[in-house]
Structure 1
Amino acid sequence: MRLWVIAALFFLTWCTCASLWASDTKQILVINSYHKGFQWSDDMLSGIEEVLYEHPDITTNILYMDSKRISSEEYFATLRELYKLQLKNQRYDLIVAIDTFAYNFLLKYYHEIFTDEPLLFTGPEQFSLEAVQKVGLEDRVVGLLEKRAIEESIPLISKMMPSLKKLTIINDGSTNGDDSDLFIRQAILDNQDTFEVEYIRHSSLEALEARFSTPRPNEAIFFIRFYNAHDGTFYKNNQIAAMIDKSALPVFVTDTLFMGKGALGGKVVPIRALGENTGKLILQTLKGEITPLHVSTDETYEYQFDVQKLAHFGLSPHPHVGSYTRLNAPLGFFDKHRVFVDTIFVASPLLVLLILGLGHNIYMRARNEAKQRAIELQQNKHQQFIVQQAKLAEIGEVFSSIAHQWKSPLIEIAAIAQEHVYTCKDQPQEENNQYVNDIMVQVRYMTDTINDFQKFIMPSVDKSVFDVAETIEEMLKIINHTIKYSYIDITVRKQGTQRLLVNGYKNEFMQTLLNIVNNAKDQITLARERGAIKRGEISITLSCDADKIILAICDNGGGIPEGKLPQVFDAYFTTKEEGHGIGLYMTRLIIEEKMGGKIWASNTPVGACFTILLGSAA
């Protein structure tokens, strides 16, 4: 009898304790805007669960909506009836809404489904106090806003791509897209004077993939999101990742969804960290540490970049970003051979392992240096090829000049020879010698001309010190007749009497001057044909300022269109119908890369002006 009594008392005690334990358990209902398998919300939930894992007294139930694929009012009304039936007689300590769709849904139908449970939202980018007050929930709403680094990312892109001409921003037409739209438009206003910005909200993944399949220098994509096409098609993450990976333009992003899957990188929101911060806010809310209408903005960011994409597009975050996470970096020796290294470490002395590692590092360094030397050699060959190509393109101009210069001497030679044949019998020896001397003067002139031409087309091998003024005179001597018969007056003005010496490649420098003067001649010819001018003028001004030599070549050919001024030195850019587009590119290459100077183009009231700045060797 006493055993039964003891057993009964033990049972009653256990029931009482279990009841007490049950009363301490917190029940959370999470309503996720998206279906299971949607990576953004899955990463969010992983971060939340990681925080709540340390609290076994908290039980979490999750309901999944499907708002990415279905977002009609009919769908939400049906979902309301389902939740009313499913959650009938249920009591929760906290309702958590993941992202905008779930939050808006709960604001609208809260009083039909729940009683007085507090409501915590996470993920939206904007918060409206008026919307909360309208439904009378200001005494139970708290939240955590997501903030994408849109305003900071666009200046970062322009710093990493200093020659950026166009940025395309992609953001779909969904409710989430509307949240980001305000920040995007403000960023566009802040940067519209710096480069061209195109904003795409309504398109299709197929159209975007086709559009960005062709490389275009100095263009980039800033990808916010694109789940929904203009016709309602829903795209999965793997489809979006494939489009980003195939893009021939660098793709910058705002979160970690597509990092390592084709995106180049940027200042991103680590979504899992956003979930962890949401988990911490849940704990504070359950403990009563957060008061209603406490809405904060999560500003947890990381700089992440895909190493392979950086190399592919020739970009680098340095020096604009201090430290960043490197994705898709090539595996080192120890990563590739981890099992082998572990075995060696266990089986052999530490010294053997260090020797192996040192030997491998030496080998890799030597191989990388050899590759770098090969790349530099190839680049030098390419540059020399471009120089020679430009010279060949100008040979036609030079031959034309030579033909003009030879025509008159040849006629003179023929006339003198004929006269000598008919008169030599009756003329004294002294007069015969004069005829011979006249012939030799003309022949010597022809020889000097061809010698000048041969020197001009022969590439310089080593640097030498030469006089800039004398080089200009030599260049003008070569093209004298071409300029003369184009009805152009050339004036050369030199300030001061000292010699203007530079250390560089004389023939290549002469080629740069010829490129500029020939371009001026062509523009003057066109202007005269249009009747804009009667006679062409080219002025060449030389001056010296401290240790710098300044050379300005200006014309009256009407100038360069303002929109094309920044492009005149780009490779293969030309305004001529049959131009090759490498003359001025080669000019900049010689002046800036080979001679360490500077060159820029500008417009005067009557034409174009090219200014060259060189270091003096005097």
Structure 2
Amino acid sequence: MKKLILITILFTTFLFANSSILIINSYHKGYEWSDSIIKGIEKTLYSHPSIDMNILYMDSKRISTSEYFQSLKDLYKVQLENRKYDLVITVDRFAYDFVVKNYNEFFKDELILSVGIENFNKQRLKKYNLENKVSALLEKRDLKANVKLIETIIPSIKKLYVINDKSENAKHTEPLIKNLFDGFKGRYELIYLRENSLKDLEKRFSKFQENTALLFVRFYKNSNGVLNKNQEIAKFIKDAKVPIFITDSIFNKKGAIGGKIVELEKFGKTSGQMALDILEDKKQIIKVSKDFSYVFDALKLDSFTLSINQVKEDYEIVNKRVTFFDKNRGFINFVFTISPFLILLIIGLFHNIYLRIHSQKKLKQRIEFDTVLLNAIESPIFWEDDKGIIVDSNLKFCNFINMNAKEIYGRKLSDLRNTNSSLLVNILKRFNINKEENNQFKFKTAKNEVGTFFIKQAQYCDNKTKKSGVVTILTDITKEKEIEKEKKKNEEFVIQQSKLAEVGEIFSSIAHQWKSPLVEITTIAQESFYNSNSSLNEDESYVKDIMTQVNYMTKTINDFQEFIIPFNEKKVFNILEAVNSMLEIVNHNIKYNYIKIKIDVKENTNLNVNGFRNEFMQSFLNIINNAKDELLKNDIKNRYINISIYNEEKNIIIKINDNAGGIKNEDIHKVFKAYYSTKKNGHGIGLYMAKMIIKDKMNGKLSVKNLENGASFKIILENV
């Protein structure tokens, strides 16, 4: 075995004897991304003492002008003159593009290994006759896996930002981001963000955003070319009020939640091994790196109340809490060394430590489970001890009062300097005075939505600590209230429709009884005409007048009988014809009250709508009658009601204007409410029913406003 190892060492020493490698780094020494890769390369290549390495730094992060690259080219000509290398390793895109473009001026037959680029185009190399000389280890960040990971850890996510800067390197990541967006299923909002500066990012994410996360691809350069220091980027990640996931190991342990990251040092070791393979076989190698690891920061997970129990892949936890065993390891070892007589005690101690760790693990799992379960409840919940100090709450409660957990725990609700918490204090005070009457309240949530909540409180007592307190649960009953309100409206509508149906039946009976006497009157008039000895002209005029009045009464009865019958099916009808029919019914009432009605229909107006003709006529009649009553009540001279009909986009507009003086400002917003009337003996149901018919049954809109001389009602319906 020893001989085999010795032979292997001698063989590899011979194989790589006097091999020389040049590493050209796109960036400056001290730039963590490239330094980590080079560190990994060195660890691999330094195991072969016979390999000579030289490193050049281009510093293209800080300076990237064409004049600078020309100066760099002139410098390298001098430095590389009469130097021969077996392999040239370029780290990242700037070095790769620089070497390919100037290969013939720097080198002769050297092989190239490009490390850390994201795209490889062999066709481009043909231009420089290098298609068989360049190998590449591609670094492709796994954006899709990170997005899937974020969805697993934050299942309720509503918004995900993907952060990239506006640098040259960022352009090569664009295909990965485009591929990510093309495959996105759209369950939530996915936003590609390229801000101008790190300051803009800090401002945007300085406040907590519920169900929001950020995938950090890169932001090393501002749009004005200023390079952001890693310490500045790390500070932004640490201070951000939304969870940030990363794609490489630079900002590991620096404030990010974690993610599926590229292990840069491990990536460098793979690059070093690939360099050895190229030196050995002299063959071109193109492959994509798979040096990924799942890494999570325990402190950041706790701060955002996130659990990774559902993550199935193997992962590493950093920034763990130090256990008792870790703190006292030296003392335990010392006792174990100097106290052989206490071995049984030590065994017992280890056993207890094991049990404690095991119990802590179970407890942690239980706490995480309880936290996830509690945060899954839609209702805001919080605990107060017997002194009124907040002991715990779920995430919904924090969002409810628009504060984070650190700001509220250990403090009284009344001590919190927050508008929402102050309102809640007053609400709970009223609740405690009368729990039956004040157990419901309206509240504007963090999303600026007004909801109705139901208060429920229960006493609790911890059997171990003997501490007691109150649990308060705020249940959102907004939807239930809306359903209840809608149900009440429908019941009122059904009752009114039932009344109208009964009136229709009664009127049909009356109309049937009236028609017979009208026929008799007609017959008597005709017989009187033929039996009379009077002059023909006098009798003919007399009978003609009687027949005219009888025909008018018959037509009026038929029109009103047709109007009063409700219909259950929508039909296409002509708005102008319906308006004229309605006005025919009330013509005498309008005419003998000296009210002028004018109808103005714009040319080429589409007058057809799909709906309930009689119900529309009923709504129109309510508006006309209201206008008539107001005109009579105010004793207005030159009374008029103007009706305008015209099209607007795909809708038909009907405006009814009068000169009755308008509606009082304190009443105009209430006229459509049920049982609200400005009339002394009014029932307050007419305009309410009109609104319901136009809005709920015909999918339209009904509104009112005051003009200079009176009120203006506006009906909007969809054209057919």
TM-score of Structure 1 vs Structure 2, range by shorter chain: 0.5 to 0.7
Contact 2:159 2:191 in 1 (8 A): yes
Partner of 1:614: none
State the structure with more CA Rg: 2
SS at match of 1:144: strand
2:20 to 24, 27, 48: 27
Q: Does 1:518 align with 2:475?
A: no
**Which segment is superposed worse, 22-31 or 160-169?**
22-31
1:115-194 equivalences in 2 (<5 Å): 115-191=108-184, 193-194=186-187
Residue 263 to residue 514, structure 1, CA distance change in 2 (3 Å): closer
Contact 2:16 2:48 in 1 (8 A): no
Q: Does 1:295 align with 2:274?
A: no
Residue 26 to residue 459, structure 1, CA distance change in 2 (3 Å): closer
Partner of 1:82: 75
Partner of 1:325: 316
Residue 397 to residue 346, structure 1, CA distance change in 2 (3 Å): closer
SS at match of 2:250: coil
Partner of 1:239: 232
Over the matched positions of the two proteins, sequence identity in percent amounts to 36
Q: Does 1:270 align with 2:263?
A: yes
Deviation of residue 354 (structure 1)? 3.2
SS at match of 1:197: strand
Letter aligned with residue 295 of structure 2: Q
**Deviations, residues 520-549 of structure 1 (Å, cap 9, x unaligned):** 356789xx8xxx998489xxxxxxxxxxxx
Letter aligned with residue 283 of structure 2: T
Q: Does 1:201 align with 2:184?
A: no
**Deviations, residues 2-31 of structure 1 (Å, cap 9, x unaligned):** xxxxxxxxxxxxxxxxxx999931111110
Partner of 2:45: 52
Letter aligned with residue 324 of structure 1: Y
Deviation of residue 461 (structure 1)? 8.6
Partners in 2 of 1:145 and 1:30 — Cα distance?
A: 17
Contact 2:40 2:267 in 1 (8 A): yes
Partners in 1 of 2:128 and 2:65 — Cα distance?
A: 21
1:419-434 equivalences in 2 (<5 Å): none
Residue 246 to residue 523, structure 1, CA distance change in 2 (3 Å): farther
Deviation of residue 218 (structure 1)? 0.1
SS at match of 2:44: helix
Contact 2:195 2:201 in 1 (8 A): no
1:304 to 287, 295, 317: 295
Residue 266 to residue 21, structure 1, CA distance change in 2 (3 Å): closer
Contact 1:524 1:536 in 2 (8 A): no
SS at match of 1:191: coil
Letter aligned with residue 339 of structure 2: S
Partners in 2 of 1:335 and 1:27 — Cα distance?
A: 46
SS at match of 1:257: helix
Partners in 1 of 2:288 and 2:238 — Cα distance?
A: 31
Partners in 2 of 1:143 and 1:352 — Cα distance?
A: 59
**Deviations, residues 554-605 of structure 1 (Å, cap 9, x unaligned):** xxxxxxxxxxxxxxxxxxxxxxxxxxxxxxxxxxxxxxxxxxxxxxxxxx99
Q: Does 1:279 align with 2:272?
A: yes
Partner of 2:304: 313
Partners in 1 of 2:123 and 2:180 — Cα distance?
A: 26
Partner of 2:638: none
Deviation of residue 32 (structure 1)? 0.5
Contact 1:100 1:124 in 2 (8 A): yes
Partner of 1:346: 337
SS at match of 1:142: strand
**Deviations, residues 159-185 of structure 1 (Å, cap 9, x unaligned):** 211111111111111222111111112
Partners in 2 of 1:166 and 1:457 — Cα distance?
A: 31
Partners in 2 of 1:340 and 1:373 — Cα distance?
A: 31
Query: How many pairs are equivalent?
Result: 415
Partners in 1 of 2:151 and 2:15 — Cα distance?
A: 57
Contact 2:21 2:52 in 1 (8 A): yes
Deviation of residue 370 (structure 1)? 9.3
Residue 168 to residue 373, structure 1, CA distance change in 2 (3 Å): closer
TM-score normalised by structure 1 residue count? 0.60
**Deviations, residues 392-418 of structure 1 (Å, cap 9, x unaligned):** 689999859xxxxxxxxxxxxxxxxxx
1:460-499 equivalences in 2 (<5 Å): none
Deviation of residue 307 (structure 1)? 0.9
Residue 516 to residue 51, structure 1, CA distance change in 2 (3 Å): closer
Contact 2:245 2:258 in 1 (8 A): yes
Partners in 2 of 1:120 and 1:515 — Cα distance?
A: 64
Contact 2:294 2:313 in 1 (8 A): no
Deviation of residue 311 (structure 1)? 1.4
Contact 1:44 1:271 in 2 (8 A): yes
Letter aligned with residue 296 of structure 1: K
Partners in 2 of 1:209 and 1:61 — Cα distance?
A: 40
TM-score normalised by structure 2 residue count? 0.52
Deviation of residue 342 (structure 1)? 2.2
Letter aligned with residue 35 of structure 2: D
Deviation of residue 319 (structure 1)? 2.1
SS at match of 2:217: strand
Partners in 2 of 1:41 and 1:458 — Cα distance?
A: 58
Deviation of residue 351 (structure 1)? 3.2
Partners in 2 of 1:517 and 1:139 — Cα distance?
A: 72
**Deviations, residues 455-481 of structure 1 (Å, cap 9, x unaligned):** x9996899xxxxxxxxxxxxxxxxxxx
Contact 2:162 2:193 in 1 (8 A): yes
Deviation of residue 343 (structure 1)? 1.3
Partners in 2 of 1:80 and 1:33 — Cα distance?
A: 13
Deviation of residue 341 (structure 1)? 2.3
Letter aligned with residue 127 of structure 2: K
Where does structure 1 lack aligned partners over 5 or more consecutive residues?
Answer: 1-19, 401-455, 463-507, 538-603, 608-618
Where does structure 2 lack aligned partners over 5 or more consecutive residues?
Answer: 1-12, 375-380, 385-392, 401-423, 439-453, 461-471, 496-695, 700-720
Partner of 2:618: none
Letter aligned with residue 89 of structure 2: V
SS at match of 2:34: helix
Partners in 2 of 1:204 and 1:54 — Cα distance?
A: 43
1:540-559 equivalences in 2 (<5 Å): none
Contact 1:254 1:269 in 2 (8 A): yes
Deviation of residue 114 (structure 1)? 1.2
1:213 to 206, 215, 220: 206
SS at match of 1:225: coil
1:320-469 equivalences in 2 (<5 Å): 320-349=311-340, 350-360=343-353
Partners in 2 of 1:211 and 1:77 — Cα distance?
A: 39
Contact 2:36 2:264 in 1 (8 A): yes
Letter aligned with residue 299 of structure 1: K
Deviation of residue 364 (structure 1)? 7.2
Contact 1:391 1:457 in 2 (8 A): no
